[in-house]
Amino acid sequence: MKVFYGARLFDGERFLDDHALVVEGGAIRALVDFVDRPLGGETFDLGGGVLSPGFVDWQVNGGGGVLFNAEPTVDAIARIAHAHRREGVTGFLPTVVTDAPDVLASALTAARKAHVRVPGALGVHVEGPFIDPSRKGVHPAEYIRPMREKDAGALIAMRAGVMVVTLAPASVPLELVRRLADAGIVVSLGHSDATAEEASAVFDAGARAATHLFNAMSQLHSRAPGVVGAALADSRVVCGLIADGEHVHPAACRAAFAAKGPGGIALISDAMPPAAGGPDTFEMQGRRMTRVGNRLVDENGALAGAAITLREAVRYATLTLGLPLASALTMATLTPARLLGLDGRIGRLAAGFAADLVHLTEALDVAGVWVDGKGVQEADERA
């Protein structure tokens, strides 16, 4: 048994003061008043700060110098997990972007194996190739293609744990959107120039998310609301948002938060290899990507993913955007867990939930991380 106290507890929605968290066998046993904490066992006086559920990041391309597309293996997923875990991420989706068919196949196989071998590897996020060429961003145009029946069948067959598929109606007919959603895949609308009406039809067909809101999608205009307007207006939709000060203007971030609330925005890192301690440059599909200040760009200056971790997104949301810390933490814990259908197991501090925890200082630095109740070093030894 482990007993944590001395910090404010954030249960996924609210703060609890003068409480203790009791962990046993890798799961949370109880949250109790400090005076009622059980005696004996291993005790952790955290000495201030916040004890929160571990962060859940549903869009991680890489980190710590590793790019999943370049190394679609279980070992690469483990190294990415290791890098982000030290930044408080205890659950994530390795994300494969548009690439050659053999890369996608290898990534799906690796993610299927990693789901049972790598702590925190929750499944996979497939971002392309079934997107709109007109909103491709840095995705290579030569690999973008329409989804066929056999593509949908292959994705369904390879799902292990959570699978998110980012797609656009320009490349995927509504009947295949329905087929994926009915099979338990989280369908997300992204890299799309769809009209608001087309986007709403995708949501009606079962899509439940929007990938990196505002980026690589049709924008909100008064008489043409686009994907952005459709996603903001639909209470069924959870919007991923890169809060790094580069991808989205602060005023646009605040507008999205005002429209959706913390239950409708899931912070994401969209992390590339420079995140979580990686070098400033890397190669992606034969192109050189570079971190310039807080921006990560290709040779033409186009944004190419991000160089942040989810902890840095939480810090930006609170210290720069001025959001309440509780809201920012919800968007990094409970909301993504709910989107992924895992809010009965992770994303909360509650009895029966996994003891995936992050201890943050008052300055929102990471002071400690536990996965299934084990400290980060123990979790790394399991990987």
Catalytic residues: 270
DSSP state of 84: H
What lies within 8 Å, CB to CB, of 152 at 6+ separation is: 176, 179, 180
What does the DSSP 8-state code read for residue 275?
G
The residues near 272 (Cβ < 8 Å, ≥ 6 apart) are: 61, 62, 63, 67, 278, 282, 284, 289, 296, 304, 305, 306, 307
Q: Would you mind telling me the total number of residues written for the chain in this entry?
A: 383
Percent helix, strand, coil in the chain, to 5, is 30, 30, 40
Q: Which two tokens stand for residue 259?
A: 């429209």
Joined together, the tokens standing for residue 261 give 């609330």
Q: Which of 76, 18, 19, 23 is nearest to 54 (CA)?
A: 23
Q: Are 2 and 44 in contact (CB under 8 A)?
A: yes
Whether 277 and 307 have beta carbons less than 8 Å apart is answered as no
CA distance 242 to 244: 6
Q: What is the amino acid identity at position 299?
A: E
